[in-house]
Chain A
Amino acid sequence: MRPSKNTSVASPSTGNKGFMGLIPYFLIGIYFGIIFTKSEVISWFRIQEMFRFQAFHMYGIIGAAVVVAMISVFLIKRYRLKSLDGVEIVIPPKDMGSGTRYWLGGTIFGLGWALTGACPGPMFALVGNGALVMLVAILSAVAGTFAYGALRPKLPH
């Protein structure tokens, strides 16, 4: 993967340790699938409740997740921890550019988030919950991603 600014959340470390190396990620996925389902963050109703400011539930979840992640990232940087495979942990900073991509892209994402009631992770969790029609939403999201890739040279960033 090219280490350019368009790979903003790309993994800094490459190389997979084969099939066995993927197992921990599958387990983390299972863990997520269970939490997403049991906390109801994958519910269209919960997303509506959030955008209507009618309950603390979603704000509490996102807020608590950010606080825990923030403290952890601070400690990882503070003590310059290395990952298990001995590589220094680097979180690539996002390139600000003109800022257009963040507010405009963010707004477009938000429109879709409120309509489908699901961001990418929850879309997959809904499929696991038997809402197979969300496969169509996932396909559409892939199409949207492709459309962005094709239009990218013409869009303001």
Chain B
Amino acid sequence: MIEFISQPWPWYVAGPLIGIVVPALLLLGGKVFGISENLRHVCAMMPTKVEFFQYEWKNGLWNLTMIAGVVAGAWIAHTYLGSSDPVAISEATKTDLTALGVTDFSGLVPSQLFSWDNLFSGSGLSLIVLGGFLVGFGARYAGGCTSGHAISGLADLQLPSLIAVIGFFAGGLIATFLLLPIIL
């Protein structure tokens, strides 16, 4: 059992375990699963006159608490449930990324790109600072992120969510095939 837990978990284990949280949150307190709402709550905590942030952020305390739990859970997995082995990505992906100059496949993220040393280089600014900004801007513009649209929204058969998810992929493909070759 411990050995099984220590291995990377396959999709057919992880997928259903994630999906079941949608009804769990609904049944627990009528909460809709959507993680990027937390970014908005943080803005709403700040002293600002922007109308979009004038609401009672404390109603989102459950969500902020959940995201704090995510950090704790990730730390537990990282510390006690083993796994910093190289991520078992396909050879094709390794080949493509090597061609772009990625040489270190040892961690969850390429440490040569996602490190404090690289933060203020062109690639660090693009991937970490610009990338993060676009995630925050796009998630709120679209009214949700992977959890709110791709999981909660699609599960509720909402057409706007399907359009948003198609957008997620369009953007991801543009970044992968057009932007990364320039940035890396």
- Interface, chain A (partner B; CB < 8 A): 1-2, 6-16, 21-22, 24-52, 54-70, 72-73, 75-76, 81, 83-85, 87-96, 99, 101-121, 123-134, 136-150, 152-153, 155
CB neighbors of A among B8-66 (8 A): 8-40, 42-43, 46, 48, 50-53, 55-56, 58-63, 65-66
Q: List 15 A-B contacts (CB under 8 A).
A: A6-B143, A16-B59, A28-B25, A39-B10, A44-B113, A49-B90, A61-B15, A65-B16, A107-B138, A109-B167, A111-B172, A111-B174, A115-B126, A134-B114, A146-B50
**Chain B residues with a Cβ under 8 A of chain A:** 5, 8-40, 42-43, 46, 48, 50-53, 55-56, 58-63, 65-78, 81, 83, 87-90, 92-93, 96-97, 105, 107-110, 113-116, 119, 126-161, 163-176, 179-180, 183
The 8 closest A-B pairs by CB, nearest first: A29-B69, A106-B167, A33-B73, A110-B171, A64-B15, A128-B74, A144-B136, A109-B138
Interface of B is mostly: helix
List of A residues within 8 angstroms of B8 by Cβ: 38-40
In the complex, A144→B169 CA distance in Å? Answer: 19
Inter-subunit contact B73/A34 (CB<8 Å)? yes
- Given A9-B32, A13-B31, A141-B36, 4 other A-B contacts at CB below 8 A? A54-B92, A61-B14, A63-B15, A136-B119
